[in-house]
Chains A and B, each alone.
Chain A
Amino acid sequence: MRADLTLIHEWIPEGARVLDLGCGEGTLLAALARDKRVTGYGLEIDPDGITACLAKGVNVIEQNLDEGLANFEDDACDLVVMTQALQALRRPDLMLDEMLRVAGECIITFPNFAYWRHRAYLGFKGYMPVSRSLPHAWYDTPNIHLSTFNDFERLCRDKGLSIVDRAVGIGDHEGHWTSRWWPNLFGEIAIFRVARRA
């Protein structure tokens, strides 16, 4: 499993009701159902991802996240997870509101645009960064709202949300390390656990 997914897997409590936004092939939900009796739904629009979820027995609902989560009631879930999808949404800020309406807590991961390799790519080459976490060219990328570790923290602060936990992912083989030191520079993947202000 991807480094960020491994960490999320650890963070999610036994028996939780989880909504996974942009669940892809349902890898996380399948693992959580198997290891932690987690129930819930994945939302996805990619046809191949949806078919893969069905084959795994993961509950998947074809739904465009840009249309919101109106079909889920307030506090319908314990946790909303969104891995590597925030940056592809039309309004990430509104989605954050929606996520914390549907559940008291959410876990979000996204590529950190301020990662040193990205900075170096742009700084030295003068081109939009292309990397493992940002594999697309500028013209065909689904990632329309790139941000940094710091940007996201500021958004949470402005919204009065509390950041329960944060971590950085750096590559698949290394797993993750949780650090207070320069996450904005050394973190390739930003991983946040955010709650409504208690």
Chain B
Amino acid sequence: MPEFPSDSVGLVTPQTAHFDDPLALACGRTLPAYDLVYETYGTLNAERTNAILICHALSGHHHAAGFHSTDERKPGWWDAHIGPGKSIDTDRFFVVSVNNLGGCHGSTGPTSENPETGRQWGPDFPIMTVGDWVHSQARLADRLGIERFAAVIGGSLGGMQVLQWTLSYPERIAHAGVIAATPKLSAQNIAFNEVARQAIRSDPDFHDGWYADHGTAPRRGLKLARMVGHITYLSEDAMGSKFGRDLRTTDLNFGFDVEFQVESYLRYQGDTFSTSFDANTYLLMTKALDYFDPAAPHDGDLARALAPAACPFLVVSFTTDWRFPPPRSKELVNALVRADKSVSYVNIDSSHGHDAFLMPEPRYQAVFAAFMNRVAGDLGLEGQS
């Protein structure tokens, strides 16, 4: 494929796995049947020991690396790290990336048809938890013949799924990579999520979530939600160096049109997102974030909650991340130490804020590559590449 960079996994095609065995959910409801859309890169070895599961963040999906077509401008969301010779080396590992249930990129979610009513699930789609996702991912692993993942890796909400993997299926995960995540959201995090949800829910086009029935969509609300979110994903430095106080015109116009570059940027990001993402999915995903707290059933004692975990952890944070800042990662690291678990922690110097986990940065890549080398070494995969 000469049209793609040599370290790209190239052209990829999403696949769909259909499941007829009902999935019992944390909310008490059961999903009778469902689809999971996923992509894979690399080759599963004969012993089925080289599989890596990539868990996505809030607005992510299954398309983590490569291109869907030769026209696609941007590769998958984690292309900087997945590919031949990259940190997650597809010459050596078999990578699986799945769109979570409740998503809006092919897996069963609010925009899918509810078999009981024949119309879209809409707001009736059950609230998912990180635990529910992990159960569904384990079923996909069964389907793919993967008994144990060499590593489960994810950033942000993806990192929470990784943590949940170590607790729900300790025997099925050999290494955990928890990046730019937190063992639970702070009140401030939940507050930002609530602002985002209220922006969506107060849009006149929301219709209590039944907007599809009205042939409309709460685009303005979703746009606002994304704008708020986007501010929290960038650092003040990143925004400052990207836009400063630059004006789009030469003079102030003393009005409320776009004057500053950063306003224009946020509006553009919000607009793009609001036409490609489903509002009910956004509500559901932010709720899953809010609910995640594995320590809660153990009187808030995270070390006790981590008792089942059996694999080595890599925890990574970024210096300017104020969505899930380094102290939140250290909280997890300290609890892992108290629980006598195998853990390494790295705090990467970056100016990109929370979004740094998606970016190529030399030290981040070196750390990641070293960890993946260890994964390969522990599992005797050296000969694969």
Contacts and interface: CB of A to CB of B under 8 A. Distances in A.
A47 B363 contact: yes
A38 to B, nearest CB: 13
Interface on chain B toward A: helix, strand, loop, or mixed SS?
A: helix
B367 A71 contact: no
A57 B377 contact: yes
Interface string A42-83: 000001001111111111111100000001110010000000
Interface string B63-105: 0000000000000000000000000000000000000000000
Contacts of B366: 47, 51
A41 interface: yes
Interface on chain A toward B: helix, strand, loop, or mixed SS?
A: mixed
Interface stretch (B135-143, B266-274, B332-340): B332-340
> Which of B338, B344, B347, B377 gathers most chain A CB within 10 Å?
B344
B345 interface: yes
B312 A61 contact: no
Contact of A62 (B346, B370, B378): B346
Given A51-B366, A54-B370, A57-B377, A71 B334 contact: yes
Interface residues of A, number: 21
Contact of A57 (B333, B343, B367, B374): B374
B371 interface: yes
Interface string B363-385: 10011001101100110000000
A190 to B, nearest CB: 29
Given A61-B343, A61-B344, A62-B346, A54 B314 contact: yes
> Which of B330, B343, B366, B377 gathers most chain A CB within 10 Å?
B366
B15 interface: no
B337 A53 contact: no
A61 B345 contact: yes
B342 interface: yes
Given A50-B346, A54-B314, A54-B344, A61 B333 contact: yes
A62 B374 contact: no
Nearest to A50: B346
Contacts of A76: 337-338
A41 B344 CA distance: 8
Interface in A155-195: none
Contacts of A50: 344, 346, 367
B378 A41 contact: no
A87 B30 CA distance: 62
Contacts of B342: 39, 59
Contact of A54 (B330, B334, B337, B367): B367
Contacts of A53: 344
A59 B363 contact: no
A80 to B, nearest CB: 14
Contacts of A39: 342
A76 B347 CA distance: 23
B320 to A, nearest CB: 15
Contacts of A72: 337
A17 to B, nearest CB: 8
Contacts of B377: 57
Nearest to B315: A61
B371 A54 contact: yes
Given A61-B333, A71-B334, A71-B337, A55 B373 contact: yes
A50 B330 CA distance: 16
A55 B370 contact: yes
Interface in B282-333: 312, 314, 330, 333
Nearest to A48: B366
Interface string A128-145: 000000000000000000
25 contacts: A41-B337, A47-B363, A51-B363, A51-B367, A53-B344, A54-B344, A54-B346, A54-B367, A54-B370, A54-B371, A55-B370, A55-B373, A55-B374, A57-B312, A57-B374, A59-B343, A60-B345, A60-B346, A61-B337, A61-B343, A61-B344, A62-B347, A71-B337, A73-B338, A76-B338
What are the 10 A-B residue pairs with the smallest beta carbon separation, nearest first? A54-B370, A55-B370, A71-B334, A61-B345, A57-B374, A51-B370, A60-B344, A51-B366, A62-B347, A54-B371
Given A41-B337, A62-B347, A71-B334, 17 more contacts: A39-B342, A41-B343, A51-B367, A52-B370, A53-B344, A54-B344, A54-B346, A54-B371, A56-B374, A59-B343, A61-B343, A61-B344, A62-B345, A62-B346, A71-B333, A71-B337, A76-B338
